């Protein structure tokens, strides 16, 4: 049965308070709800998690900035403020174009990093997942898992509109909702029919993407393809962040659009934490040490 290629959903914007790094967190999660009548799926809440206590996510960096012009990237400017606050100087977070830092709220274009103790038993596709939020608003939230590459290529997928120009592009598992939908993400904002997720990252425009590749104006490797997506009901993601299920961060387009090879999904999760620095970098190092200890204790463990 052919798989539909879908554009992204619509929705308003809103902000919620959420909690920063929490190193103690229940690893229990309930099965994910299945969508009915075409609605976006949502994951049940985690009642075992304690949501009491003060928030530790306030960085002192403003979540909104003064108007700087239509061509300005306020996310990059905010990242520079964060790096200066950490004593990294005026040059910004990275001269390579790769940066990430913690933010206090989920927002459109933010990335979610799963707590390392979550999703170990059930919903393993979310274990150490990195999710890009494509929408976050009053009607709910949805996004794509960035670090779950499949063994399939686009040429293996029976799309309604075959995309032969992208036959060798890898297909990623974007979530557990809408498995019959395929979406494409890329850096080409000039293409017709695209929607901006954040400056430098765009969704959709499949027909114009195909035309651009045929005309030599873009390369097939610039495009990342995803089947399905992750979804939350209104207010659900904020509650999960508050309980420590997800860490919220902003990341550069270069990081978000990075190709992730098979078996390297966990490496990408670690990379984001290390770029975030501070306690997050320490958490990454602790998890690596724990994994190394487990591997030494059980050589047969993968």
- CATH at 123: 3.40.1740.10
For 132, residues 6+ apart whose C-beta sits below 8 A from its C-beta are 109, 110, 111, 143, 144, 146, 185, 197, 201, 256
Domain assignment present for 69? no
Residue 142 falls inside a structural domain: yes
Residue 224, in any domain of the structure? yes
Q: Which residue has the tokens 């979310």?
A: 126
| Structural domain count of the chain | 1
Beta-strand runs (E) in the chain: 4-5, 100-102, 111-114, 130-137, 140-145, 149-153, 170-173, 177-186, 194-198, 201-204, 224-232, 246-251
Whether 56 is covered by a domain: the verdict is no
- pLDDT value for 50: 38
pTM greater than 0.85 (yes/no): no
Contact between 103 and 110 under an 8 Å Cβ cutoff? The reply is yes
- Give every residue of the chain whose pLDDT is below 50, as ranges: 1-2, 6-40, 43-70, 74, 89-92, 302
Domain annotation covers residue 252? yes
- Residue 247: predicted pLDDT: 97
For residue range 73-121, list pLDDT tens digits in order.
Answer: 545 655 555 555 555 544 445 568 899 999 998 999 999 999 999 998 8
On whether residue 265 sits in a domain, the answer given is yes
The confidence score (pLDDT) of residue 96 equals: 80
Domain that holds residue 116: 4-8+16-22+74-292
Distances from the Cα of 295 to the Cα of 53, 242, 301, angstroms: 35, 32, 6
CA distance 276 to 121: 27
Residue with tokens 């949501």: 51
pLDDT in tens, 193-206: 999 999 999 999 99
| Helices 265-276 + 278-297 axis angle, to 10 | 150
Report CA 41 to chain centroid distance, whole Å: 17
């Amino acid at each position: 049965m052919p798989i539909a290629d879908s554009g992204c959903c619509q929705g308003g914007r809103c902000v919620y308070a959420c909690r920063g790094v929490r190193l103690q967190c229940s690893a229990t999660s309930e099965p994910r709800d299945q969508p009915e009548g075409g609605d976006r799926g949502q994951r049940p809440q985690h009642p075992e998690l304690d949501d009491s206590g003060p928030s530790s996510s306030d960085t002192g960096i403003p979540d909104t900035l003064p108007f700087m012009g239509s061509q300005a990237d306020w996310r990059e400017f905010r990242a520079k403020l964060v790096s200066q606050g950490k004593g990294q100087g005026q040059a910004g977070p990275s001269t390579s174009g790769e940066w990430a830092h913690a933010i206090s709220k989920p927002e459109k274009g933010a990335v979610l990093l799963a707590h390392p103790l979550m999703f170990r038993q059930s919903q393993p596709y979310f274990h150490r997942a990195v999710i890009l939020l494509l929408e976050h608003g009053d009607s709910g939230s949805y996004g794509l898992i960035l670090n779950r590459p499949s063994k399939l290529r686009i040429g293996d997928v029976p799309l309604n509109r075959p995309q032969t120009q992208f036959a060798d592009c890898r297909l990623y598992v974007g979530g557990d909702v809408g498995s019959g939908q395929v979406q494409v993400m890329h850096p080409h904002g000039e293409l017709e029919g695209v929607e901006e997720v954040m400056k430098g990252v765009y969704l959709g425009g499949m027909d114009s993407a195909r035309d651009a590749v045929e005309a030599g104006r873009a390369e097939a490797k610039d495009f990342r393809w995803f089947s399905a997506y992750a979804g939350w009901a209104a207010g659900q993601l904020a509650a999960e962040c508050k309980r420590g299920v997800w860490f919220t961060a902003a990341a550069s387009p270069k990081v978000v659009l990075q190709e992730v090879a098979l078996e390297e999904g966990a490496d990408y999760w670690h990379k984001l934490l290390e770029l975030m620095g501070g306690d997050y970098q320490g958490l990454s190092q602790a998890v690596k040490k724990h994994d190394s200890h487990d591997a030494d204790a059980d050589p047969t463990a993968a």
